[in-house]
Structures are given as structure tokens and as C-alpha cells.
Amino acid sequence: MFRPNQYVVALEDIDLDALAEAGIKGLLIDRDKTLTAWRSREVSPAKRQWIERAKERFSLCLVSNTVFVKGIRAVAEDLGISVVCGWGLGRKPLPGAIRAALREMNVEPREAAIIGDQLFTDILGGNLLGLYTILVKPVPGKEFPGTCLTRILERMVAGRLRLAPDSRPERQ
Ligand SMILES: [Mg+2]
């Protein structure tokens, strides 16, 4: 349940052609430490470019457990994509926010990929609903203090599952 279908170094390393060929139509993307640094509104040029390319072929939706809704709305608006925030029992890995995002994009779970940096929220939540799951290494920088313990546990699970990110694709 914690094993992602794919593990890459960063969002921009995800091969969009391969996802389209696999029949994926919608991408659910975590914000904190996946798309931006924690609570940041700044999207790096490489990630922005990847999002722009993804928008040409997929429906995109940010899915976050953040309580700082204003910030994430600003990011979504800036990128021109939709956003769903999980509250209470809707938080990842519980199905509420993920289901809401699927409805928003009008895609079935098997037509969707969820991309995130946390095994216990993004990957578990996606696996429970039968989405294609993609783990990324966390964007460097500070962290929500409560996540530090989670990271230790995640490293233990990742070690046990022998998870290692795919090597970075060649760039020109
Ligand atoms: Mg995250």
C-alpha cells in the first residue's frame, strides 16, 4: 500500500508521454515539497515549464492537506489549474479530497495519477483508491515541524521496500 508505481527525483522528471500512453488523463499534484517549498507560492522555472506542458494534455488539480488555503489558491490561480484542499476526514490519505479532485477533473481513478512527496498521505491515499502513484523526493528547504517524525517513519518504510528514485533522464 506504500509502494509507489514510480519514484522520481523531482516533478519535472516525470515522463508525460509515458503517462499519456498508459491512459492517464488527470494529474493530482501535491503542493508542499512536491510543487513548491513548504508553504511557498514560488514555482521554479523547471516545474512551471513541466506544468505548462502537462496542461496541454491532462487535467490538473492541486490536492493538499494544507490549512493555509489562501496561499495554495494563489499558486493554483497563477498556474491556471484547479485546487482541492482536504479538511478533517477529507485529508489525504483518506479519500475525500482525492475523490473531490477526480470529480473536479471528471476522470476515473484508473485514469488518474497522484504525484507527491509523502508515502503516508499522497502514495497511500492514491493506492487505496487505485490511482497510479508517483513519489518525488521532497523539495529541499524547511519543513512543517510535524512532518519531521513522519519523515523518519517514511525513511524506514522506504528502506524496507527498497525504494530508490529512478535516475534523472538525460537533459539537453
Ligand atoms: Mg507534500
Is residue 33 domain-resident?
yes
Look at residue 75 in the predicted model and tell me its pLDDT: 96
Is residue 11 domain-resident?
yes
What is the 35 CA–ligand 1 centroid distance (Å)? 8
Rounded to whole angstroms, the Cα distance separating 148 from 113 reads 26
What are the tens digits of pLDDT across the range 18-37?
999 999 999 999 999 999 99
Look at residue 142 in the predicted model and tell me its pLDDT: 85
Is residue 167 domain-resident?
no
- What's the CATH number where 12 sits? 3.40.50.1000
Is residue 1 domain-resident?
no
For the chain, strand residue ranges (E) read 6-8, 26-29, 59-64, 82-85, 112-116, 132-136
What is the 171 CA–ligand 1 centroid distance (Å)? 25
Rounded to whole angstroms, the Cα distance separating 158 from 79 reads 31
What is the 30 CA–ligand 1 centroid distance (Å)? 6
What mean pLDDT, rounded, does the chain reach? 94
Is residue 171 domain-resident?
no
Is residue 100 domain-resident?
yes
pLDDT band at residue 88 under the 50/70/90 scheme: confident
Domain count, the chain: 1
- Residue 148's domain comprises 6-160
Is residue 172 domain-resident?
no
Strand, helix or coil at 159?
helix
Q: Determine what percent of the chain is predicted with pLDDT higher than 90.
A: 84
Please name which of 68, 75, 88, 87 lies closest in space to residue 29, comparing C-alpha atoms.
Answer: 75
Cell of 96: 475525500
Cβ contact 28:114 at 8 Å: yes
Give the CA count within 13 Å in the CB-facing half-sphere of 63. Answer: 35
What are the tens digits of pLDDT across the range 91-102?
999 999 999 999
Residue 14, φ and ψ in degrees, nearest 5:
-75, 130
Is residue 150 domain-resident?
yes
Q: Taking residues 4-24, report their average pLDDT.
A: 97
Is pLDDT of 110 > 90?
A: yes
Cell of 123: 502514495
What is the 125 CA–ligand 1 centroid distance (Å)? 13
Look at residue 171 in the predicted model and tell me its pLDDT: 58
What is the 64 CA–ligand 1 centroid distance (Å)? 8
Rounded to whole angstroms, the Cα distance separating 89 from 98 reads 12
Q: Taking residues 140-156, report their average pLDDT.
A: 88
What is the 150 CA–ligand 1 centroid distance (Å)? 11
What is the 116 CA–ligand 1 centroid distance (Å)? 6
Q: Determine what percent of the chain is predicted with pLDDT higher than 70.
A: 98
